[in-house]
Amino acid sequence: MSDTRIRKVVIVGGGTAGWMTAAPLVLRLGASCEIVLVESPEIGTVGVGEATLPSIRYTNLALGLDEADFLSKTQATFKLGIEFRDWGQVGNRFFHGFGGFGPPIENRPAYMYWLHLSRSFKDMPSYEQWSMVTAMAQSNCFAPPHDALPSITDSYSYAYHFDAGLYAAYLRDYAMLRGVARIEGMIDGVEQHPETGFITALKLRDGRRVEGDLFVDCSGFRGLLIEGVFKAGYQDWSAMLPCNSAQAVPCAKAAQLTPYTTSTAKSSGWTWRIPLQHRTGNGHVYCDGFTTDEEAGRVLLEGLDGEAQGEPRQLRFTTGRRRKSWIKNCVAIGLSSGFLEPLESTSINIIEQAVGWLLQYFPHRDCRPELADEFNRLVAERFEYVRDFIVLHYKVTQRSDSAFWRYCADMPIPDTLRHQIELFRETGRIVVYDPHGFSVDSHVSLLMGLGVVPKVDDPIIDTLRFDQLVRHFASRREIITQTVKAMPEHAHYISRHCRAP
């Protein structure tokens, strides 16, 4: 029986996606398979994705990275969630944190009981006051949860803010130390097998050839292989996510090092603020059909809380995904596979998922189409679930102060998302289509934060005595308050454990 195992994987493109792909592949396959990454310094990387989801912790853990070293080398800070300002209506503020509103009560989510109490107590405190992670963010504190000894005060997680360029470099050093070969050069052509159409080699501008059995396209928006060679096609979601432009600029670091991302809705999009140890990352995502680049740049620069470090960098994009991310012996990962605006910091998470699925369905040299079909199904679902969650931010709005927000309020949305919204509005229930994505509490944070209040209570919760509920919520709130008071400030924790040199 002939050996049909993959002998050489060629990754096209460096940056975050390329090195996030190379590191796990060499760790898992390095003993039996050659891993090569081809990148050119002439091609820049997008590199603005500085905020992450908690899954990044487990990606780093699987690679065996030391957290303190990683945080120090990437100028990182901790992220407990996202503060949303002016979403839903001007003046509105809410927090989407990496944690819940308390453990279930008699197998019913805690937020349902809060709703029940709030209908009887006119001055009932906000539901956010029963969220440990929200209380930490509001107090600008940080301490890691004690995963080994879970309690009601540890029901939260965290992610990171980091310099994406430094993270890519950190993983590059990790991967090359373990055997990944880096080739610097500009790709000038692609060779394919005359019968199967499989890619057989890349041709570099200086005449070198890079042969391989499996090619991973991490070439960014252009999709050098998946689109340039295989014409995968693209699903355009601009009708539901009209923002198509962004400007990004760092500024001097702020006096207060907040442990959360800030997203502020503007008249034609939104701005982000991401605090790092050495600077603050800022950007403005907008639709150029409702404003000009000049006006968008002015809005961005006027909102900085420190001196701008350079001129804003312009980006253009079309929200959507490739119709197929795996064709023959080519797999697209990162921006070459699709793009969703970074409103919920999902870009790096989608890379993590795709690399995991590539390892799960890693092929022989014949690259059976059944494996590609399953990979494509999973990637498509992941993009669509995240798309719907992002569309929710725009669709559920009371803002009518600009043409952009009036468009968002009236735009068509998928039936699945409409069902999620109406189910919660009418009954207080949450449906989660993606078990690996945003949780019930994430949907509650967003829907209630945007002003969607269920019309009725769950009838089963009426069986619990009212006085018991009051005591339960008062006790949890007091424990959270006292626990947060004992925590160090975010900046102090970083200075003590993982300060950058």
- Name the residue among 403, 91, 108, 85 with its Cα closest to residue 263: 85
- Residue 122 known to be catalytic: no
Q: Is 365 helix (H, G, I), strand (E, B) or coil?
A: coil
- Are 230 and 328 in contact by the 8 Å Cβ rule? The answer is yes
The answer on whether 428 is annotated among ligand-binding residues is no
The answer on whether 395 is annotated among ligand-binding residues is no
In angstroms, the CA 17 to CA 37 distance is 11
- Are 346 and 352 in contact by the 8 Å Cβ rule? The answer is no
Cα dist from 136 to 81, 156, 158, 197, 496, whole Å: 10, 10, 11, 55, 18
The answer on whether 348 is annotated among ligand-binding residues is yes
- Are 45 and 168 in contact by the 8 Å Cβ rule? The answer is yes
The answer on whether 14 is annotated among ligand-binding residues is yes
Which of these is catalytic: 8, 73, 79, 231?
79
**Cα radius of gyration rounded to whole Å, the chain:** 24
In this structure, are strands 181-184 and 34-39 parallel, antiparallel, or unpaired? Answer: parallel
The answer on whether 262 is annotated among ligand-binding residues is no
Q: 26-44 as b/e, with b when 16 or more CB fall inside 10 Å?
A: bbebeeebbbbbbbeeeee
Burial tier of 360 (Cβ tally within 10 Å: 0-12, 13-18, 19+): exposed
- Are 173 and 15 in contact by the 8 Å Cβ rule? The answer is no
DSSP codes, 174-221: HHHHTTPEEEE--EEEEEE-TTT--EEEEEETTS-EEE-SEEEE--GG
β-strand partners of 324: none
Binding-site annotation, residues for FAD: 14-17, 335, 348
Known binding site for 7-chloro-L-tryptophan: residues?
79
Active-site residue list: 79
Annotated binding site: 14-17, 79, 335, 344, 348
Which residues contribute to the annotated binding site for L-tryptophan? 344
